[in-house]
Amino acid sequence: YTDNIRDIETTTSKIIQDVNAIKVKDVESIVSPIKTETKTVTAERTHINYLFPTLIMIVIMFVSLLLSSVTVIREKLSPAYFRNFISPTGSFLFVFGAYLTNILIIVLQIGIVLGVMLFIEPEMSNTLLNLGAAVLIITSVFILLGMIVGYLFTSEETATVGAISLGTILLFFSNTIIPLETLPIWIKQIVDYNLFVVSDNILRALI
């Protein structure tokens, strides 16, 4: 037994010496011997400019469709509609008046949104002129589309439902809801001409 105890003592002493010979005793250094540090190549900035085209398009589309369709319906239901109808003034002037009313209201709202975006992203001021022209054209298209919806229906409720349904369909078949790459090829070829998708791509290219 004495020999066994000495052997154990010798082995234990050797193990203690080997442990003491280890220079690195920090557990964190042993587990992660290589320290890494990640530094960004570009300056940190917000990603709101990637979301802005989609957000501005949702505002433009729904406000334009709803406002223009309701405006047309209320004009049709107005007691003055018959007097306007039999007046010598051409129909184009009334249509242009409704369009001008809607475009002024929506441009004011879009101007407020653009002002907030310029406050957040001052770099967007370089493309403000082109962006404003594109927004004006896109808004005009959706206003005319909403006016068509208003002339097709006979009540404010049905026109509102029709405008919301049309906007929802255009929004659903876009990258906002589902990636267009997942759609069948023949559906994607049709969706590529979606007014929402085309307008969103134009704003993204400008921004």
Burial of 4 (0-12, 13-18, 19+ CB in 10 A): exposed
Q: Which of 117, 110, 174 is nearest to 143 (CA)?
A: 110
Residue 124, pLDDT above cutoff 80: no
Q: What is the pTM of this model?
A: 0.69
Least confident of 65-69, 83-87, 89-93: 83-87
Instruction: Give the mean pLDDT of the chain.
Output: 80
- Looking only at Cα atoms, what is the longest distance across the chain? 128
Residue 172, pLDDT above cutoff 60: yes
What pLDDT, on the 0 to 100 scale, is given for residue 23?
Answer: 64
What pLDDT, on the 0 to 100 scale, is given for residue 179?
Answer: 76
